Amino acid sequence: MSVSLCVLRIEIDEDLPEMGDNAAENEAAKEQKKKDRGSRESKTITVETYASVLMGPNTDTGILPTSSRRSPPEDSVSEEEDTISFFCGNPLVEVTKGILHLYKENELKEAEEAKTLCLLSVPGALGAGDLLAFAAACQQDIAHVRVLRDGSPDHYMALLTFRTYQAAREFHSAFDGVPYSSLEPHSLCHMAWVSRVEWARDGTPPPSHTELPTCPVCLERMDESVAGVLSVQCAHAFHAECLVRWRDARCPVCRCAQVPEPRDRAVCFQCERSQEDQEEGEETRDNISGVAEGLGLDGVEAGTLWICLICGHVGCGRYEGGHAAKHFMQSNHTYALQLGSNRVWDYAGDNFVHRLVQNKADGKLVSWAGAAGADDACHEACAGDKLDAAQLEFTYILTQQLDSQRAFYEEKIAKMESEHAAQCSQLQLRATECEATSTKLAGQLASLANQNKTLEKKLQNTTAK
């Protein structure tokens, strides 16, 4: 079975005693870590490990440095041979401060060596005992159960390590997509295959791996192979279920309205200048030459509004407040529509995006004159319409004449064909009569020849006597 394996990494903070003694290196690493983290902040991470009694004491099953462990009280382990696998006693608790990273491998691989499953977004109301009861049917095959908490009160992650790959595959087939409780049918069990669990001092992803982003609503990892991921117009992605529960037309992150509200007139979102205000200010402005947004060789005025084709942001031109161009610099939304002329400006190419114009007569691509020759183009269009009408009338008359000529010649051809057929029938009749006469004459000739021979014999006999 080909699956996307994941790597779970716990990035620990620099203030741990294992980080080293060189202050300069620590400061440089800290700056690099701030750059890699961005706006993410470190949280207190707690790892609780529940080991089966068949595995012995769980003091050697930790995944964090030994300094982060809280030693549990020693429990007696049964040494009898006939024992049943179960979980008891206090778990091995490891506490550190850092960030949880879940990296997904870019290529699909066989999961025959993976024995660990990560339960994503386990409800916080589901305790460790309830989780063990949920997986009670497979307790004989589970070696360790690790509960990872990062301070989120409503959810956590759980790692289930099985003894064999076959047992992990059976658990994945049986419990993936199953609700944790019948009272909460929306809380489904979503799993991801984990190849290894490690801790590190930085958040650099492993080679050929990509970090899974978090959902802004539920703060859980978004994996399209596990749950549906939905992207909205403002390029933010969410779990489909989380966005359905949001029940709002605005984006939960940037508050972008997916359904724009109707307005009496279009105004700039920043300076609230309308199209009319910009036209009044344009009358008192000196003419500026040059090719730029809203002002160039095509004669378009600079005092216009531009609406982003991606998110619907309305901003003024670069010769007013330049808010449309600033929106492009902030959001990297390339295309903007000029209100009034319906032309599209490409910020990346710094030019207008022209549509392909087709000739309605033959469908071929033709060039289109700009706004500078609008009058000439209109005149040419009117003349072209008249010429098209004349051509259409001429074509109609010519078609009628050709139809009449075709009918006339078809009638002539039919008459000639009928005459030719009559002549052929007469000739065939005469040929039949001639053939019968020839046969009759041939019979008479043969009879006369026989009579001639008989008479010659009689004559010879008479002469001989």
Which has the closest alpha carbon to 119: 82, 171, 184, 61? 171
Three-class DSSP category at 286: coil
Given this model, what pLDDT does residue 299 score?
Answer: 39
Instruction: Enumerate residues 6+ apart whose C-beta is below 8 A from 201.
Output: 11, 12, 14, 19, 29
Q: Which fold has domain 2-212?
A: Alpha-Beta Plaits (3.30.70)
| CB 343 within 8 Å of CB 374 | no
Residue 399 burial (CB < 10 Å; 0-12/13-18/19+)? exposed
Given this model, what pLDDT does residue 322 score?
Answer: 85
> What is d(CA 90, CA 81) in angstroms, rounded to the nearest whole number?
23
Instruction: Enumerate residues 6+ apart whose C-beta is below 8 A from 218.
Output: 121, 154, 155, 239, 242
> What is d(CA 392, CA 430) in angstroms, rounded to the nearest whole number?
57
Q: What is the rounded average pLDDT for all residues in the chain?
A: 76
> What is d(CA 127, CA 180) in angstroms, rounded to the nearest whole number?
11
User: Where is pLDDT greater, at 409 or 266?
Assistant: 409
> What token pair was written down for 286?
């000196």
Three-class DSSP category at 193: strand
What average pLDDT does range 372-397 have in this prediction? 75
| CB 69 within 8 Å of CB 57 | no
What tens digit of pLDDT does each residue of 184-242 get? 888 888 888 888 888 887 777 778 787 777 777 776 677 666 666 777 767 677 777 77
User: Structural domain boundaries of the chain?
Assistant: 2-212, 275-353, 366-407
Q: Which of the residue ranges 103-117, 213-227, 240-254, 361-375 would you say has the lowest mean pLDDT?
A: 361-375
Parallel, antiparallel or unpaired: strands 357-358 and 365-366: antiparallel
User: Where is pLDDT greater, at 152 or 296?
Assistant: 152
Given this model, what pLDDT does residue 285 score?
Answer: 45
What average pLDDT does range 287-316 have in this prediction? 59
> What token pair was written down for 251?
């984006």
What tens digit of pLDDT does each residue of 35-55 get? 666 667 778 888 888 876 555
Per-residue 3-state assignment (H helix, E strand, C coil) for 236-255: CEEEHHHHHHHCCCECCCCC
> What token pair was written down for 58?
């769980």
- Helix ranges (H only) for 269-373 are 275-283, 323-331
> What token pair was written down for 237?
């992605």
Residue whose tokens read 């021979």: 453
Please check the confidence at residue 75 and state whether its pLDDT lies above 50.
no
| CB 163 within 8 Å of CB 115 | yes
C-alpha neighbours within 13 Å on the C-beta side of residue 156: 20
Please check the confidence at residue 90 and state whether its pLDDT lies above 90.
no
Q: Report the 10 Å Cβ neighbour count for 323.
A: 21
Given this model, what pLDDT does residue 29 score?
Answer: 67
Most confident of the ranges 16-25, 241-250, 253-262, 342-351: 342-351
What tens digit of pLDDT does each residue of 393-430 get? 999 999 999 999 999 999 999 999 999 999 999 999 99
Query: In this structure, is the dihedral angle defined by the CA atoms of residues 209, 310, 229 and 200, taken in order, positive or negative?
Result: positive
Please check the confidence at residue 16 and state whether its pLDDT lies above 50.
no
> What token pair was written down for 100?
């949880």
Q: Which of the residue ranges 247-251, 274-278, 381-385, 432-436 would you say has the lowest mean pLDDT?
A: 274-278
> What token pair was written down for 200?
């590190």
For the CA atoms of the chain, what is the radius of gyration?
Answer: 47
Q: Which of the residue ranges 122-131, 241-250, 253-262, 266-275 would you say has the lowest mean pLDDT?
A: 253-262
Q: Which CATH architecture has domain 275-353?
A: 2-Layer Sandwich (3.30)
Confidence of residue 106 (pLDDT cuts 50, 70, 90): confident
225, β-bridge pairs: none
What average pLDDT does range 281-297 have in this prediction? 41
Instruction: Enumerate residues 6+ apart whose C-beta is below 8 A from 295.
Output: 288, 301, 302, 317, 319
E strand segments, 201-317:
209-211, 229-231, 237-239, 305-308, 314-316
What average pLDDT does range 247-263 have in this prediction? 68
Q: Which of the residue ranges 130-139, 366-375, 398-407 would you say has the lowest mean pLDDT?
A: 366-375
What average pLDDT does range 341-359 have in this prediction? 77
| CB 19 within 8 Å of CB 206 | no
Given this model, what pLDDT does residue 274 score?
Answer: 62
Query: Structure pTM?
Result: 0.46
What average pLDDT does range 18-39 have in this prediction? 64
